[in-house]
Homo-oligomer: A and B are copies of this chain.
């Protein structure tokens, strides 16, 4: 089912997933006069604190899903590992954006790489790895160093191993689950950047300025805007992201991560959702990524992604979120996610460090 005209204020947006992304989507929906209903198996979900409407149930609970679909006007999700069967079940009952096709591609690294390179967009060289023998021949082709990854369910560095020498192959192959795997050439990149792009129901496309990302322990640490890119690289990155959403007939916001190596831009991965490296848009853009996503799935015209200031996003991981008041100073806009416990590696919130205009 597809929405044919813009959904009016007061509509109920169903969101699968109750983490910080679902929470920020719900806050943006509220600013547009919408109601939200969060579906999440975890009764402690942070998004439950920003709406009175919730369903606590498993993603394969068809009775709960059917009731959820009946209670909402449109469905979206905050994470790319929504089971495709769940997405199809809901899409048969209410408009679902982004569609299940984008999920299927983003959930499988092999499909994703095949899809992206099929659009003429560069990706790191790769080989599918279903067996130990596949891995040995892939290492022979792509050499160490190379990165062995699961094709499914990886995030924040989970589900991958760097192979520095052929001798690393056996243990990495044994440990990584689920199979099959994929071996990717190690890209000695100069920097990582991302583009957050949106496509509306009528096909219009708007991108935010690219961000330059630094990861620590495989978790995003900072995103800086503007990124250190040439004008040609910026154009190429935005064009690649735009081509991806157009080819997917996508409705919503999507994040594309790139490696930049010399003049080469390679897509690392795509995420069919709002993206951590776009949280800064909330602090400095006319329309932020969360509102942009909500507008797209409502069938509204997309908003203006113009940026009013330079900015650096700093993720608050684990205990970095404690004693926050003492850390706040000029130009800093904090955002905390309402998570109870500051566990190591857990994304607790972020700070946007806004570059202030000169005093007149």
Least Cβ–Cβ distance between A157 and chain B, in angstroms: 25
Least Cβ–Cβ distance between A299 and chain B, in angstroms: 8
**A247 interface residue per 8 A CB criterion:** no
**Residue in B283, B304, B338 whose beta carbon sits within 8 Å of that of A10 in the complex:** B338
**A27 interface residue per 8 A CB criterion:** yes
A284 neighbours in B (Cβ, 8 Å)? 308
Q: Would A49 and B52 be within 8 Å (CB), given that A33-B337, A35-B338, A357-B308 are in contact?
A: yes
**A349 interface residue per 8 A CB criterion:** yes
**Which of A136-144, A182-190, A324-332 interfaces with chain B?**
A324-332
25 A-B pairs, CB-CB below 8 angstroms? Answer: A6-B325, A9-B324, A9-B349, A27-B30, A30-B49, A32-B334, A33-B337, A33-B339, A34-B338, A35-B49, A49-B52, A50-B50, A50-B51, A51-B52, A286-B330, A286-B333, A300-B325, A301-B325, A303-B328, A304-B330, A304-B331, A306-B357, A308-B308, A308-B354, A308-B356
Which residue on chain B has the smallest CB distance to residue A337? B33
- Chain A interfacial positions (CB closer than 8 Å to B): 6, 9-10, 23, 27, 30-35, 48-52, 54, 283-284, 286-287, 300-301, 303-304, 306, 308-309, 321, 324-325, 328-340, 349, 354, 356-357
Least Cβ–Cβ distance between A289 and chain B, in angstroms: 14
User: SS class of chain A's interface: helix, strand, loop or mixed?
Assistant: loop
B301 A328 Cβ-Cβ under 8 A = yes
**Residue in B48, B331, B338, B356 whose beta carbon sits within 8 Å of that of A9 in the complex:** B338
Least Cβ–Cβ distance between A276 and chain B, in angstroms: 16
